[in-house]
């Protein structure tokens, strides 16, 4: 009790002495949205340091507690600790991904090793571990409910996986490895962002843009003007910028230049080169795995997933790889015939694939994807996702005005349940800019949890890099962007609908190969005809997309899927190859990648989705030895969606409720497969994926 009073006094003193630092108290608005306009760069570092100091005091209170370990005085004390550190970390790292600058990068460099050390101070604290271990060994006699049992088990495993059972010498080695690794991963991400921002292709002759839709040229002209080159056209390595060139640009050299610029990010022998960083990260991960008693990083990482072992993942990937590759080869031959018919004697190359695939789509299905854009206004697509959540689960979304923002592109929505109760807040930030990393993602500014009888509702964010609006047109999306919006919205629902007592079990805090199920199942709905009719409306006339166009989209459902899956799976296999290494002393990432592609039989007309030097997911994100999870989860989502299809109603309320209560609300409260079985009643059928992709007949 005395220790608790001491900590409360420290917090009160801190608040009184630093009234202007917004991180030292809850954000004042009713939803808990961060006070972005009040947060200044100079607030972060002091808040990090004080947050670490205060949580360390909370750790020491647990470690030095002379009372017998109980679930409340040990597990709950740890789980609810670190309020200020959690607050500043969530804001900082979200901004670091979406709105960074040199100052934030400098802070990240300073904070990253501090946070690594702080984490070690918990998980390498033997006094705390012994309390947790005692509870774990006695768990069957403690009368814990399933959620309490799960969080106890999770803490115990996290301690063991963090080195708590190591001797003191090994613990010291692990601390050094963790610090170095955190910095190396940070460097990888910074280099990649810098390289993304460094590349600019200015076109001065409009003739070089032959074939490009006017909307694409207009967006490029606006970008050039903003860069101080009015009268020119600017293209970057943002997919929203260069992908239309790959699809429609007749200028083969321009297609080649842009694709290679994208593929070679981090591999240009300059200050942003990531080759040495990859070697260092891989070496450190191998050292850590061996220190923990595992042969490879993959063995160590996968021990805490649904798949469990590298052998299981490799077997799974190979079962999908060969059908995908066979389909890709057939698609390649068809595209080569189109090129041959032009009589130029050219061989299909990677920078030709999208261009001729688009031509083939138009020839086969009379479908020009660019002609669909007017029906995919971003605001309408987003509303379509909202309406779908309304039909399935009764959720309502109301736009909030005058809420704090870190950028003008950000929008906020209050999310309420069918009974009017607050679910949480969804923030969206959809357009590219120099301070934002590439890709699309979901994160949170506040997680859902229950404490002292109060259900703290979450603040969730969806971030993307979709086609920007221009002076005379709104954001008009392509099909891939539509699908991505629905995908990230699925992650958002996983966070929003969480109903866990403990933040460590809430929402997306699940094993890596289960986390993509809620996102990928949403992709199944987005191009269903009855769903499209709710959002696919012409941005000028409001006309719903004609049935003829919707029918064409349905017919192209399995078009080019050999390419799509081969590009994706090759990245997953490359990831596993890196993380099954037992030594990286002589690692040359470019040569290693080449050997990996040759071993898997990758055809040269397709470039792996992420080259090693820009594979942010595995070298700077959380997907090390885990990129397979997108395909693993696709087996789950294809099978889960069948539960709706089998009823003849894709909005079936009984199935929707079962998915919400057994998956979306549960977070990590039970083993992932148990949650799936609770929903589906049987294990997923792997053939559902091959049927969905068109590799085998239904």
Tokens of residue 407, six digits? 């950028």
One DSSP character per residue, 618-679 reads: HHTSS-TTTTTHHHHHHHHHHHHHHHHHTTT-TT-HHHHHHHIIIIITTTTSS-HHHHHHHH
CA 167 – CA 165 distance, rounded (Å): 7
Tokens of residue 352, six digits? 């030709």
CA 392 – CA 650 distance, rounded (Å): 9
Burial class (CB in 10 A: 0-12, 13-18, 19+), 610: buried
CA 611 – CA 625 distance, rounded (Å): 15
Residue 91 contacts residue 39 (beta carbons within 8 Å) = yes
Residue 438 contacts residue 465 (beta carbons within 8 Å) = yes
Is 488 known to be catalytic?
A: yes
CA 406 – CA 366 distance, rounded (Å): 43
Integer CA distances (angstroms), 117 to 10, 55, 90, 176, in order: 22, 13, 18, 9
CA 7 – CA 125 distance, rounded (Å): 19
Residue 672 contacts residue 510 (beta carbons within 8 Å) = yes
CA 235 – CA 232 distance, rounded (Å): 10
CA 391 – CA 636 distance, rounded (Å): 22
Evaluated on CA atoms 301, 305, 308, 309, the torsion sign reads negative
- Residues linked to residue 428 through DSSP beta bridges, in sequence order: 411, 462
Residue 449 contacts residue 506 (beta carbons within 8 Å) = yes
> 3-state DSSP: the chain helix, strand, coil percent, rounded to 5?
60, 5, 35
Evaluated on CA atoms 186, 188, 190, 192, the torsion sign reads negative
- DSSP character at residue 345: -
Active-site residue, from 488, 528, 567, 605: 488
Integer CA distances (angstroms), 111 to 57, 151, 355, in order: 19, 28, 45
CA 37 – CA 122 distance, rounded (Å): 33
Residue 206's SS3 state is: helix
One DSSP character per residue, 82-129 reads: -HHHHHHHHHHHHHHHHS--HHHHHHHHHHHHHHHHHHHHHHT-HHHH
The residues that are catalytic are 488
């Amino acid at each position: 009790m005395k220790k608790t009073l001491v900590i409360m006094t420290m917090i009160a003193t801190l608040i009184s002495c630093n009234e202007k630092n917004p991180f030292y108290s809850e954000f004042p608005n009713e939803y808990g949205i961060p006070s972005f306009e009040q947060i200044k760069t100079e607030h972060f570092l002091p808040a990090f340091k004080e947050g670490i100091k205060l949580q360390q005091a909370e750790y020491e209170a647990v470690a030095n507690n002379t009372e017998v370990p109980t679930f409340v005085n040990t597990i709950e004390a740890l789980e609810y600790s670190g309020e200020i550190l959690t607050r500043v970390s969530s804001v900082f790292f979200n901004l670091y991904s979406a709105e960074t600058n040199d100052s934030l990068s400098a802070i990240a460099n300073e904070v990253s090793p501090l946070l690594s050390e702080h984490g070690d101070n918990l998980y390498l604290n033997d006094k705390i571990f012994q309390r947790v271990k005692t509870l774990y060994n006695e768990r069957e006699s403690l009368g814990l409910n399933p959620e309490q049992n799960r969080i106890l088990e999770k803490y115990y495993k996290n301690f063991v996986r963090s080195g708590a059972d190591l001797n003191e010498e090994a613990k010291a080695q692990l601390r050094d490895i963790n610090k170095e690794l955190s910095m190396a991963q940070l460097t990888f991400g910074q280099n990649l962002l810098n390289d993304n921002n460094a590349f600019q292709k200015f076109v001065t002759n409009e003739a070089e843009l032959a074939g490009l839709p006017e909307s694409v040229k207009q967006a490029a002209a606006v970008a050039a003007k903003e860069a101080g080159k009015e009268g020119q056209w600017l293209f970057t390595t943002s997919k929203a910028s260069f992908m239309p060139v790959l699809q429609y640009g007749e200028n083969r050299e321009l297609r080649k230049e842009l694709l290679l610029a994208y593929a070679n990010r981090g591999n240009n022998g300059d200050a942003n080169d990531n080759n040495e960083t990859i070697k260092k990260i891989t070496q450190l991960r191998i050292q850590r795995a061996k220190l923990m008693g595992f042969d490879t990083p993959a063995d160590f990482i996968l021990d805490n997933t649904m798949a469990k072992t590298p052998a299981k993942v490799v077997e799974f990937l190979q079962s999908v790889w060969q059908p995908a590759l066979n389909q890709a080869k057939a698609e390649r031959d068809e595209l080569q015939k189109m090129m041959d018919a032009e009589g130029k004697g050219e061989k299909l190359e990677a920078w030709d694939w999208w261009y001729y695939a688009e031509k083939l789509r138009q020839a086969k299905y009379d479908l020009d994807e660019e002609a669909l854009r007017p029906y995919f206004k971003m605001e309408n697509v987003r509303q379509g996702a909202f309406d779908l959540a309304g039909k399935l689960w009764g959720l309502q979304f109301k736009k909030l005005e005058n809420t704090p923002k870190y950028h003008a592109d950000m929008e906020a929505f209050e999310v309420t349940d069918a009974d009017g109760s607050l679910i949480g807040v969804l923030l969206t930030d959809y357009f590219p800019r120099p301070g934002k990393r590439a890709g699309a993602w979901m994160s949170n500014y506040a997680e859902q949890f229950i404490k002292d009888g109060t259900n703290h509702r979450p603040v969730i964010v969806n971030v993307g890099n979709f086609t920007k609006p221009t002076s005379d047109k709104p954001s008009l999306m392509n099909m891939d962007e539509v699908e991505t919006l629905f995908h990230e919205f699925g992650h958002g629902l996983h966070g929003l609908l969480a109903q866990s007592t403990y933040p460590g079990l809430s929402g997306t805090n699940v094993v890596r190969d289960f986390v993509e199920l809620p996102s990928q199942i949403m992709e199944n709905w987005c191009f269903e005809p009855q769903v499209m009719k709710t959002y696919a409306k012409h941005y000028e006339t409001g006309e719903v997309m004609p049935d003829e166009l919707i029918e064409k989209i349905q017919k192209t459902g399995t078009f080019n899927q050999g390419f799509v899956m081969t590009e994706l799976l090759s990245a997953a296999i490359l990831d596993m190859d890196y993380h099954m290494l037992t030594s990286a002393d002589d690692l040359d990432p470019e040569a290693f990648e080449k050997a990996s592609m040759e071993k898997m039989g990758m055809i040269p007309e397709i470039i792996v989705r992420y080259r090693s030097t820009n594979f942010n997911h595995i070298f700077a994100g959380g997907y090390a030895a885990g990129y397979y999870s997108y395909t693993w989860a696709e087996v789950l989502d294809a099978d889960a969606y069948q539960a709706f299809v089998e009823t003849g109603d894709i909005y079936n309320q009984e199935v929707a409720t079962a998915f919400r209560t057994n998956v979306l609300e549960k977070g990590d409260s039970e083993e992932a497969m148990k949650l799936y079985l609770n929903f589906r009643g049987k294990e997923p059928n792997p053939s559902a994926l091959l049927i969905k992709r068109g590799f085998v007949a239904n």
